[in-house]
A and B are shown apart, each in its own frame.
Chain A
Amino acid sequence: MTETDGPLVETRGIAKAFSGVEVLHGIDLDLWAGEVHALLGENGAGKSTYAKILAGVHRPTRGEVRLAGRPVNIGSPLEAQRLGVTLIHQEPLSFPHLTVAENLFVGGEDTGVLGRVPWRRMAAEAERLIGALGVTIDPQAVMAGLSIADQQMVEIARALASDTRLIIMDEPTAPLTPREVATLFDIVRRLKAEGRAIVFISHRLEEVRALCDRVTVFRDGALISTASVADLTDDDIIRLMIGRPLQEYLHKEVASLGEEALSVSGLTRGGAFTDISFSLRKGEVLGVAGLVGAGRTDVARAIFGIAPAEAGEIRIHGKPTTIAEPDDAIAHRIAYVPEDRAIAGIFRTLPVDQNITAAAPGAIAAGPFISPRREREIAADAIDRLSIRLASVHQPIGELSGGNQQKAILARWLLTDPEILILDEPTRGIDVGVKAEFYDRINQLAAEGRAVLLISSDLPELLTLADRILVMSEGRLTGEFSRAEADQEKIMQAAVPRTAA
């Protein structure tokens, strides 16, 4: 089925832009039948975008995909499936209420309105496909009742049902136990032996080393290097992942740190984070590094009262405090700029001024009534100070650019005059110029004596801004570095999970 004289998949100059911002720049990569190919890179390096282009979820802005030598146009996941390309999502995209057998076969080709469901044949076929994976899952079981690992197996079986030639697994091991990982690896090796190509996206170097033949490192939307796994040490790989020349940002003045503003001890929430303890002083910028899914955002959400911790203690200015709702957190002068602006930040259709004043009702109201004049003044002042670019304060915030939306959210929280500021990926997806403004602003906030908890996946950013950096991995604290001792390599070493499969 696959020609032996060339790669199975060739991508040439694949690029992708979202709303004019290019996030993937001209990727040339060959994938061979019978190899397991690892894609590595920091968060946002472009691996997932690349994978989604191959799977027909995104269309490339330019570039060409060739399959077994023939140029193909992968317009939809369904077409990808027909061409023999399957993407296995980390959280399986399935029908929770249908049976395993149905999840394997529903959709697919349209046999018309009156087509019958061949339950018996489906069950037999499902049995065969799942059996071929060497696992036991009842084809008649309902999907929602399976473990994540078993659901993944069903997804893999589904790929095999359509005679897949290329299987892309996006961080498949993240939700699995070590034993389940071992089973998965056996299956991947078997698929490889059958002559299929497998793309394996993971953060875990041990797994890459155990499973993969070649590795490609992505960074900032570009392909940095492709090499045989055997030719690289772990340290080589990490260096490739972070290897950008350190941009020279002005380090902030070493601030005189004040008394303790916030401390948490033994903070735990099942499945999200375990035994988190740290303290944060006034005037300090405490960075939190870690990979996606490390639990950093969950800790922030717990402190801010969105999804409170199940165990542990939060102290504010040394006093034990219960925070059950964001409202409580705000009363304790805590502010939180969330990671996902569109979901948790902006009121898309409401005017900019109303977005800015949302968390500081006291500032714009006289009694229960809003003073439009005061609101306008306050908003205008904030817009001016943060140089937010807009046509009018009455403009719906959704019409602003991402950077200006983010400034408006920051402005919202500055209006509450917070003592403790939690910033979650504050500069993600923001262009360089605005980024520099944010850095100045964060430095200034610390200099004013506010305590800043800065969650970021951008290591140079952390190294530029933070006085101290905590590293989280798989829900636990795995490192703490002072500004003097921190460097990208040490942080990545602590952030990348290295537990053997």
Chain B
Amino acid sequence: MTALSRLIRAREAGLVVMLVILAVVVGAIQPRFLTVGTLDIILLAIPLILVAAMGQMMVIVARHVDLSIGSILGFASIAVGMMFRDIPEMPLWLGFILAIAIGAGLGFVNGLIIALFRLPAIIVTLGTLSLYRGLIFILSGGRQVDPNHIPEALIRMAQTSPIGVPWIVIIAFLTALLAYIFLRHMRLGREIYAAGSNPDAARLRGIRVNRVTLVVFSLSGAMAGLAGLMYAARFGYVNPGITGVGFELTVIAAVVIGGVSINGGIGTVPGVVLGVLLLGAVSVALPILGISGFWQDAIYGAIIVIALIVDGSVRAGGLVRLVTGRGG
């Protein structure tokens, strides 16, 4: 095995180890943590993050970042929530399609501005984060969509399914599976890695880098849109000022912990899934340990910073030498 793949495996193994340590330590202090019920809670905590993280990881693998997903999530959920409210006979599946389409459209706008004007994604999506959030208020008139207007069938998706595990959990893992197939087995998926790994070489080899940019932002938006409908299912309401606010930071945290390099070209779906699970486990462990939920963001922040430092050291060659025992 080569240095890099070893390193990637090391990251995935490391995440598994951290999950185990977390379970053992928290379980020792509070045995309640090691029950099937906890797993259920964790699984219910992560679907939104998991879905959006799949889109975000594609963006980051392609050497960009998308800060606007929280607002896209909010916009898609408000728009579709209002449709459910105003057209009660609208079928559920149409709602899903609309949420995904709206998200993809907003993401496409991001990609278009970035590719067309060659601007840094982080500033553009900081702008659209605000722009889309403002549009949410204009669209909704500042009013939330109340639980009695969210279709009951949708809310049930967050509670149950024929096989016991709630539908939204199934959808989330299906999305991850599709992302895995896309990134691993489809030509366009591999082009995302190529464009992020070495954009100049990618251009010379005839890969259309601008198309990659449009695709990753559209997909990131689409998945944020899907997460928006899952939000409505999970929480039973959609609020213009709450839904999706700060969501992007949690998702970026999960992706960075999952071993996706902010310098592009590196990152796997299993790694990101583990990163999401770890974040979910932390968020569930805190209340069980009696630690205030206020700790959560600080811990997320610390994890991001540490993951970035590790990532930076990897690039500097320190860890490659450590893992392989040979000079960088």
Interface residues of A (CB under 8 A from B): 76-78, 93-98, 102, 106-108, 110-117, 119, 138, 141-142, 144-146
Assess whether A142 is in contact with B5, with CB atoms less than 8 Å apart.
Answer: yes
> Which 8 pairs across A and B sit closest by C-beta, in order of nearness?
A145-B2, A107-B205, A97-B265, A115-B187, A142-B4, A95-B197, A78-B206, A145-B3
Tell which of A108, A112, A116, A138 touches B205, judged by Cβ atoms closer than 8 Å: A108
* Distance in angstroms between the alpha carbons of A98 and B208 in the assembled complex: 17
Nearest A residue to B267, CB-CB: A97
Q: How far is the CB of A56 from chain B (nearest CB, A)?
A: 9
Q: How far is the CB of B272 from chain A (nearest CB, A)?
A: 16
* Overall SS of chain A's interface: loop
B204 at the A/B interface (Cβ < 8 Å)?
yes
Assess whether A107 is in contact with B3, with CB atoms less than 8 Å apart.
Answer: no
Assess whether A93 is in contact with B201, with CB atoms less than 8 Å apart.
Answer: yes
Q: Which of A76, A97, A106, A108 has the largest count of B CB atoms less than 10 A from its CB?
A: A97
In the complex, chain B residues whose CB is within 8 Å of the CB of A117: 184-187, 189-190
Q: What are 7 A-B pairs at a CB distance below 8 A? A: A106-B191, A106-B205, A108-B205, A117-B184, A144-B4, A145-B5, A146-B2
Starting from the known contacts A95-B265, A141-B1, A144-B3, 5 additional A-B residue pairs (CB-CB under 8 Å) come to A95-B201, A106-B205, A110-B206, A142-B3, A145-B4
B132 at the A/B interface (Cβ < 8 Å)?
no
What mask results when residues 157 to 196 of chain B are scored 1 for a CB within 8 Å of chain A, else 0? 0000000000000000000000000001111111101101
Q: How far is the CB of A59 from chain B (nearest CB, A)?
A: 15
Assess whether B2 is in contact with A141, with CB atoms less than 8 Å apart.
Answer: yes
Q: How far is the CB of A36 from chain B (nearest CB, A)?
A: 25
Nearest A residue to B265, CB-CB: A97
In the complex, chain A residues whose CB is within 8 Å of the CB of B197: 95-98
Nearest A residue to B8, CB-CB: A142
Q: Which of A112, A113, A145 has the largest count of B CB atoms less than 10 A from its CB?
A: A145
Tell which of A76, A116, A138 touches B187, judged by Cβ atoms closer than 8 Å: A116
Assess whether B207 is in contact with A107, with CB atoms less than 8 Å apart.
Answer: yes
* Distance in angstroms between the alpha carbons of A386 and B215 in the assembled complex: 54
* Distance in angstroms between the alpha carbons of A116 and B188 in the assembled complex: 8
Q: How far is the CB of A268 from chain B (nearest CB, A)?
A: 15
B200 at the A/B interface (Cβ < 8 Å)?
yes
Assess whether A98 is in contact with B200, with CB atoms less than 8 Å apart.
Answer: no
Assess whether B187 is in contact with A111, with CB atoms less than 8 Å apart.
Answer: yes
Assess whether B198 is in contact with A93, with CB atoms less than 8 Å apart.
Answer: yes
B266 at the A/B interface (Cβ < 8 Å)?
yes
* Overall SS of chain B's interface: helix
B202 at the A/B interface (Cβ < 8 Å)?
yes
Q: How far is the CB of B241 from chain A (nearest CB, A)?
A: 38
Q: How far is the CB of B154 from chain A (nearest CB, A)?
A: 30
* Distance in angstroms between the alpha carbons of A119 and B190 in the assembled complex: 11
* Distance in angstroms between the alpha carbons of A141 and B6 in the assembled complex: 10
In the complex, chain B residues whose CB is within 8 Å of the CB of A144: 2-4
* Distance in angstroms between the alpha carbons of A141 and B2 in the assembled complex: 6
* Distance in angstroms between the alpha carbons of A96 and B194 in the assembled complex: 9
In the complex, chain A residues whose CB is within 8 Å of the CB of B208: 110
Tell which of B185, B191, B194, B204 touches A77, judged by Cβ atoms closer than 8 Å: B204
Nearest A residue to B191, CB-CB: A106
Q: Which of A93, A95, A114, A142 has the largest count of B CB atoms less than 10 A from its CB?
A: A95
In the complex, chain A residues whose CB is within 8 Å of the CB of B201: 93-95
Nearest B residue to A102, CB-CB: B190
Assess whether B205 is in contact with A141, with CB atoms less than 8 Å apart.
Answer: no
Q: How far is the CB of A253 from chain B (nearest CB, A)?
A: 49
* Distance in angstroms between the alpha carbons of A115 and B215 in the assembled complex: 15
Assess whether B198 is in contact with A107, with CB atoms less than 8 Å apart.
Answer: no
In the complex, chain B residues whose CB is within 8 Å of the CB of A112: 187
* Given known contacts A95-B194, A95-B197, A142 and B204 CB-to-CB distance under 8 angstroms: no
Assess whether B204 is in contact with A141, with CB atoms less than 8 Å apart.
Answer: no
Nearest B residue to A110, CB-CB: B206
Q: Which of B197-249 contact A (CB under 8 A)?
A: 197-198, 200-202, 204-208, 215
Q: How far is the CB of A135 from chain B (nearest CB, A)?
A: 16
* Given known contacts A106-B205, A108-B205, A114 and B188 CB-to-CB distance under 8 angstroms: yes
* Distance in angstroms between the alpha carbons of A194 and B4 in the assembled complex: 35
Q: How far is the CB of B286 from chain A (nearest CB, A)?
A: 35
Nearest B residue to A109, CB-CB: B206
In the complex, chain B residues whose CB is within 8 Å of the CB of A141: 1-2, 5
Assess whether B193 is in contact with A107, with CB atoms less than 8 Å apart.
Answer: no
What mask results when residues 249 to 278 of chain B are scored 1 for a CB within 8 Å of chain A, else 0? 000000000000000011000000000000
Q: Which of B1-58 contact A (CB under 8 A)?
A: 1-5
Q: How far is the CB of B274 from chain A (nearest CB, A)?
A: 19
Assess whether A107 is in contact with B265, with CB atoms less than 8 Å apart.
Answer: no
Assess whether B190 is in contact with A106, with CB atoms less than 8 Å apart.
Answer: yes
In the complex, chain A residues whose CB is within 8 Å of the CB of B202: 95, 107
* Given known contacts A117-B187, A145-B3, A145-B4, A98 and B194 CB-to-CB distance under 8 angstroms: yes
Tell which of A78, A96, A108, A110 touches B198, judged by Cβ atoms closer than 8 Å: A96
Q: How far is the CB of B47 from chain A (nearest CB, A)?
A: 26
In the complex, chain B residues whose CB is within 8 Å of the CB of A96: 4, 197-198, 265
Assess whether A98 is in contact with B193, with CB atoms less than 8 Å apart.
Answer: yes
* Distance in angstroms between the alpha carbons of A119 and B184 in the assembled complex: 9
In the complex, chain B residues whose CB is within 8 Å of the CB of A98: 190, 193-194, 197, 265
* Distance in angstroms between the alpha carbons of A425 and B127 in the assembled complex: 46
Q: How far is the CB of B265 from chain A (nearest CB, A)?
A: 4
Q: How far is the CB of A210 from chain B (nearest CB, A)?
A: 30
Q: How far is the CB of A114 from chain B (nearest CB, A)?
A: 6
Nearest A residue to B264, CB-CB: A97
In the complex, chain A residues whose CB is within 8 Å of the CB of B184: 117
Q: How far is the CB of A458 from chain B (nearest CB, A)?
A: 30
* Distance in angstroms between the alpha carbons of A76 and B200 in the assembled complex: 13
Assess whether B204 is in contact with A106, with CB atoms less than 8 Å apart.
Answer: no
Assess whether A113 is in contact with B3, with CB atoms less than 8 Å apart.
Answer: no
Nearest B residue to A145, CB-CB: B2
* Distance in angstroms between the alpha carbons of A51 and B186 in the assembled complex: 34
Nearest B residue to A144, CB-CB: B4
* Distance in angstroms between the alpha carbons of A97 and B208 in the assembled complex: 18
Assess whether A106 is in contact with B194, with CB atoms less than 8 Å apart.
Answer: yes
Tell which of B1, B3, B189, B198 touches A95, judged by Cβ atoms closer than 8 Å: B198
* Distance in angstroms between the alpha carbons of A110 and B190 in the assembled complex: 13
* Distance in angstroms between the alpha carbons of A112 and B215 in the assembled complex: 13
In the complex, chain B residues whose CB is within 8 Å of the CB of A110: 206, 208
Q: How far is the CB of A117 from chain B (nearest CB, A)?
A: 5
* Distance in angstroms between the alpha carbons of A93 and B188 in the assembled complex: 20
Q: How far is the CB of B202 from chain A (nearest CB, A)?
A: 7
In the complex, chain B residues whose CB is within 8 Å of the CB of A77: 204-205
